[in-house]
Amino acid sequence: MTHSPETSRQVPSGQVPSGQGTSRQVPSGQGTSGAVTVRPAVFSIDAAVADRGMSVSLELSDKETVAVLGPNGAGKSTLLGLIAGLLRPSSGRADLDGRVLFDAGTHWVPAHQRKIALLAQEPLLFPHLTVLDNVAFGPRSAGASRGDARRAARHWLGEVDALGFAHRRPGQLSGGQAQRIAIARALAAEPDLLLLDEPMAALDITVAPMLRKLLKRVLAGRRAIIVTHDVVDALVLADRLVVLDAGRIVEAGPTRLVLERPQSAFAAGLAGLNQITGTVTGHGLVSEDNMSIAGVVDDAAVPGEPGVAVFRPGAVSVFPEPVHGSPRNTFPATITDLEPHGDQIRIRAGALAADVTLSAAADLAPAPGSIVYFVVKAAAVVIYPAKTVRNDEAGPRP
C-alpha cells in the first residue's frame, strides 16, 4: 500500500456531514469538475434510515474494496440492504457510475435494476436448481439465452474452481462449497458493485482461510464492500476500512493506518491496543479523568487539542505497589478479568489490558477485584491527534 494515509483521511470533499440529514448535494463531483463528458466511475451514498438511526456517507472509487467493521447492531447489514435496494432510506441519495440509485422522494431504482449483487452470510443457492443453473441465474435474468448463460456460468464456476460441482444440487454441497458457488453466482451477474455480508461467518473455521484466499483473488480490481467482524478480512481483502457504530461512520481510512492509530475504541480493540483519549500536552496527554500520560507525541499533535494515546498490552508491566521513575506511567488498576493470551496471561482492568508472563503472573497472584499498578514506559506510548471523524471523510483515495 503506497498511498499517503494522511491525505486520504482529510479529503476536503465539501460534503455536508450526513448527520444533518437530507443533503441533496451530489457527493461524486470530485475529479469531474465542470466536464460532464466523463461519467464518474464512483459509487457514493449519503443517506439516512430514520427508524434505524442510521445516517451514513460513503464513497468508493472504481476497483476499490472497502471493509465495514463495527459492533453488533451497528447497522452494517442495514447499510448493505440500503445499497442493494432491499431497504428504503428515509432521506438521501446514492449514485453508481453516474446512475442515480435513489434520491429520496424522486428516484427509486429497484434492486434488480441496480447491478449490485449481494452475497449473504448464507449461500442461499436456489435449492431447486443445479449448481450450473444457479450460477447461470444472473445472466439469464439479464436476458442471455440459456446456452450463453450456461457458458458464462461455466466460466465463473471455473474461476472459483468448482466446475466439478456443475451438475450437483445445492443440497449435495458442503457449506464452503456452497459459498464458493454463491460467489460465482454473484460474479456471473457482472455487478458494478459487489456487496458481501460476513461471507465467512457461517463457515467452518477450517474452510474460512481457503475462501478468504479465493475472495482475495476475485475481489482484486473489483469494487466491493465487505462487512466483516474479522480484522483479518479487512487486512487481506480491503484497501480501506470503515468503522460503523450506532448507524454512523465513526472512523475511516486505509486499513493499516486505522489499525496503527485507531481513533475509536472499537478500532483500538480490533488492533488489540490500549487506548486513552484526552487532551494533548507538551509531553503527553491528560486523560478525561485527569490522569497525566507521558509518551512520544506526534508532530501533528497540538497541545490543548484532543488527542489519543495508544500502547500495546505487551508493553505494560504489572506491579502490586506503585513504581516511580521519571519516564514511566503508572496507573492504579482494579483487575476485572484474567484470560490466557498465547503463552501469556492477559490482565484486564476496565478498558485497559496488560500481558504478563506466566511466572510474573504467578508472583503477582492477581485476582479479579484486587488493585494493582499498570506501568508502561513513556517510549512505548504513542500520542497523536484525535479527529472528529465526519462521515464525509469516508471518501475514496485521491
Binding site for other proteins (CB under 8 A): 84-86, 110-118, 120, 122, 124, 126-129, 137-138, 140-142, 185-186, 189, 191, 195
Return the number of the residue (149 or 276) whose C-beta is nearest other proteins: 149
Return the number of the residue (86 or 302) whose C-beta is nearest other proteins: 86
CB of 154 to other proteins, least distance (A): 17
CB of 295 to other proteins, least distance (A): 48
- Residues 6 or more apart in contact with residue 74 via CB below 8 angstroms: 244, 245, 246, 247
DSSP run (H or E) holding 137: helix 137-141
CB of 358 to other proteins, least distance (A): 38
Q: How far apart are CA 125 and CA 127, in angstroms?
A: 6
Q: How far apart are CA 154 and CA 213, in angstroms?
A: 21
CB of 264 to other proteins, least distance (A): 30
Return the number of the residue (40 or 191) whose C-beta is nearest other proteins: 191
CB of 67 to other proteins, least distance (A): 20
Burial (CB count within 10 angstroms: exposed 0-12, middle 13-18, buried 19+), residue 180: buried
Return the number of the residue (224 or 265) whose C-beta is nearest other proteins: 224
CB of 98 to other proteins, least distance (A): 19
Return the number of the residue (84 or 208) whose C-beta is nearest other proteins: 84
Return the number of the residue (87 or 315) whose C-beta is nearest other proteins: 87
Q: Cell for 391?
A: 462521515
Question: Which residue type is seen at 217?
Answer: R
Burial 272-308 (b: 16+ CB within 10 A, else e): bbbbbbbebbeebbbbeeeeebbbebeeebeeeebbb
Whether 176 and 183 have beta carbons less than 8 Å apart is answered as no
Burial (CB count within 10 angstroms: exposed 0-12, middle 13-18, buried 19+), residue 359: exposed
